[in-house]
Amino acid sequence: MPNNPTAAAYDRLASTVFGVVLDSYPALMSVEEVVQEVARDPARFGDRDEVGNAIRDLAREGLLHRTGGFVFATRAAVRTRELCI
């Protein structure tokens, strides 16, 4: 875990975003659905932006696919979950 409390909080948020999207597999989720489910205050720009940043980073890391306004878990992420259960 990072020593920086802000980084630790961001990692917790990213983990929550990842879990929400992974739990919906194989369905696509709209980014708005993820924001509504995860953000502390979905109407607040900062909270929406944090969720959007987490989605962006998870896609860069190969855990999520993003297509237009929708996201879904990569097959590799799903398979990793299957192996860990």
Q: Is 62 helix (H, G, I), strand (E, B) or coil?
A: coil
78/33 Cα distance (integer angstroms):
20
pLDDT exceeds 50 at position 41: yes
pTM of the model: 0.89
* Average pLDDT along the chain: 93
3-state secondary structure of 85: coil
Residues 44-85 have pLDDT tens digits of 999 999 999 999 999 999 999 999 999 999 999 999 999 986
Lowest mean pLDDT among 3-17, 18-32, 44-58: 3-17
Q: How far apart are CA 68 and CA 66, in angstroms?
A: 6
Check residue 1 and give its pLDDT: 43
**How far, in Å, CA of 2 to CA of 70, rounded?**
29
**Separation CA 61–CA 74 (nearest Å):** 10
- Ordered by where they begin, the domains of the chain are 5-84 (1.10.10.10)
